[in-house]
Amino acid sequence: MASMANRVPAAFDRDYQMLIDGEWTGSSTGETLRCVDPFDLHEWAQIPAASAEDVDRAVAAARRAFDQDGWPQRTPQERAALLRKLADRIEAHCDELARMQVHENGKLMSEMFGGARAMVPHARYVAGLAENAMGHSVEALPGFTSYTVKEALGVVAAILPWNTPLGLLSWKLFPALAAGCTIVIKPSEVTSASTLRLAELCQEVGFPRGVVNVVTGHGQPTGAALANHPGVDKIAFTGSTGGGKAMMAASVHRVGRTTLELGGKSPNIVFADADLDDAIHGVMAGIFAATGQSCMAGSRVLVEASIHDAFVERLCAAAAKLKLGDPLAADTDMGPVACRNQYAKVQEYIAIGKAEGATLANPELADALPDTGLFVPPTIFTGVAPRSRLAQEEIFGPVCSVIRFEDEDDAVRIANDISLGLAAAAWTQNVGRAHRMVKRLRAGTVWINAYRVAHYTMPFGGFKESGLGRELGPDALDPYTETKSVWINNGAVRQSFGRKS
């Protein structure tokens, strides 16, 4: 791999500090970690690696802000106003926030910019949810006034992955703040600088001390210290399914609330009656957008037997046309994989696929990679056995497993025969089949003749081991609230117990 001059802007390449209790601070141990640009492997930025003691301070600050300083008692209008101010700050810094994430994880600038810009209406939408939140008045029993109120849940630990650092953070940060919770954020060690920059914008907006805190560092010890902390009321986690199980284990002894957004191995099903021009685009976007590093990646491509060979030929031809290169360049279709660990994992699965007897349909693309960075070609395996590791395990890279099916029942059986259930898609022009597939596919999101569409107004989350709970949509505040049932005796009912005297 050739070396080149550091292209990370000087303003990004600095010593960052964590935000704890309204103060900018380093790690108590002085330990740090670096960001690595996966396009040219240049190291940049100095990020504190928080100790358990730092995590303790952050949770104590969030606890005090919640329990004593009155953040949950602020009116929804006040909290919404701060969120709208944050939206304005993000709007003014979209390009910077997007560019920083590109230097952290190598995703395309076009995608990261769109994601940063989408946070602006998202924050305003959640502000509206705060203002419109309400309980129910219930006619339960004669003589009582009874109603429910939604109250802020408490201190939230938000633990995040590297693939969409700020977008996924906003799914947690906005509703937590809107509901009146306080938060301690632990971004991925791969993408901490952009989160610390967003925390700076939160500070400028004027959230009170201790309401927003960020600790940075690796899963061990930083993430684990946060997840296991007795002062945390709720874990909001996005990451691998293995990580999600660790979060459940960490919170079980305190009956801690959890929302888990986890891995996927989603089926993208192409029927012979589909518009195949559209389907090719949908399959390509499903697995090769974001270099396959998307929880909702359509990594299992199920193709009806009668069109299988012709479809695979078209898919390979389309993959060969993808331009791999600089994620900042407007004409790049696929950037590098985000980090060295992920690169090694993807290579390992390509070897597993070969060892399991699947056919690598386009091996020639491996000889035409850019000479810098962590590049993996758009890789297509055919003849993949539905129960093989290649077909069952999330790779999180540009590796597509093509599986042949005979008819609709066969497609549904293969699609659902897996422990994950984040998303699924079917390509068909038969309206009846489209509706049947919506009902039969076991996944949190189902697309018909589309892939990778999401919006902050629509709930997102997984069936089975792909997650627990839902984020986004009109109920986005619910996971950050507790419901309290209130009974008021109107005076007509005498409380009595036992024998009347």
Q: Which helix (H) or strand (E) holds 85?
A: helix 76-92
Verify binding: residue 298, ligand NAD, rule CB under 6 A.
no
Q: How far is the CB of 55 from ligand NAD (least distance, A)?
A: 10
Cβ(338)–Cβ(163) below 8 Å: yes
Cβ(326)–Cβ(373) below 8 Å: no
> By CB under 6 A, how many residues form the interface with ligand NAD?
30
| Strand ordering across the sheet containing 155-159 | 23-25, 18-20, 212-214, 182-186, 155-159, 234-238, 257-261, 467-468
Q: How far is the CB of 371 from ligand NAD (least distance, A)?
A: 26
Tell me which long-range contacts 147-151 makes (C-beta under 8 A, separation of at least 24).
147/486, 148/483, 148/484, 148/485, 148/486, 149/483, 149/484, 149/486, 150/179, 150/477, 150/478, 150/481, 150/482, 150/483, 150/484, 151/72, 151/180, 151/481, 151/482, 151/483, 151/484
Output 227 or 415, the one with its CB closest to ligand NAD.
227
The piece of 26-34, 157-165, 328-336, 403-411 that touches ligand NAD (CB under 6 A) is 157-165
Told to judge if 261 belongs to the known catalytic residues of this protein, a careful annotator would answer: yes
Taken in order 269, 270, 273, 274, the sign of the CA dihedral is positive
Distance, in Å, from the CA atom of 460 to the CA atom of 472, rounded to the nearest integer, reads 6
The piece of 1-9, 186-194, 201-209, 373-381 that touches ligand NAD (CB under 6 A) is 186-194
Q: How far is the CB of 223 from ligand NAD (least distance, A)?
A: 2
- Cβ neighbours for 70, distance < 8 A, ≥ 6 positions apart: none
Q: Which of residues 243-272 bind ligand NAD (CB under 6 A)?
A: 243, 246, 261-264
Q: Which of 57, 186, 197, 308 binds ligand NAD (CB under 6 A)?
A: 186
Give the number of other Cβ atoms within 10 Å of residue 263's Cβ.
25
Active-site hit among 111, 261, 394, 465: 261
Taken in order 457, 159, 92, 337, the sign of the CA dihedral is negative
Output 161 or 231, the one with its CB closest to ligand NAD.
161
Backbone phi, psi, residue 242, to 5°:
-60, -45
Output 210 or 444, the one with its CB closest to ligand NAD.
444
Verify binding: residue 48, ligand NAD, rule CB under 6 A.
no
Output 153 or 443, the one with its CB closest to ligand NAD.
443
Q: Helix or strand or coil: residue 482?
A: strand
Q: Which of 82, 130, 227, 303 binds ligand NAD (CB under 6 A)?
A: 227
Verify binding: residue 314, ligand NAD, rule CB under 6 A.
no
Verify binding: residue 170, ligand NAD, rule CB under 6 A.
no
Q: How far is the CB of 294 from ligand NAD (least distance, A)?
A: 7
The angle, 0 to 180 degrees and rounded to 10, between the axes of the packed helices 109-132 and 94-105 is: 120
Site string for ligand NAD, 439-478 (x = CB under 6 A): -----------------------x----x-----------
Output 115 or 161, the one with its CB closest to ligand NAD.
161
Active-site hit among 295, 304, 339, 400: 295
Output 325 or 421, the one with its CB closest to ligand NAD.
421
DSSP 3-state helix, strand, coil percentages of the chain (rounded to 5)? 40, 20, 40
Verify binding: residue 159, ligand NAD, rule CB under 6 A.
yes
Told to judge if 181 belongs to the known catalytic residues of this protein, a careful annotator would answer: no
List residues binding ligand NAD (CB under 6 A): 159-163, 168, 186, 188-189, 218-220, 223-224, 227, 238-240, 243, 246, 261-264, 295, 394, 396, 422, 462, 467
Catalytic residues: 261, 295
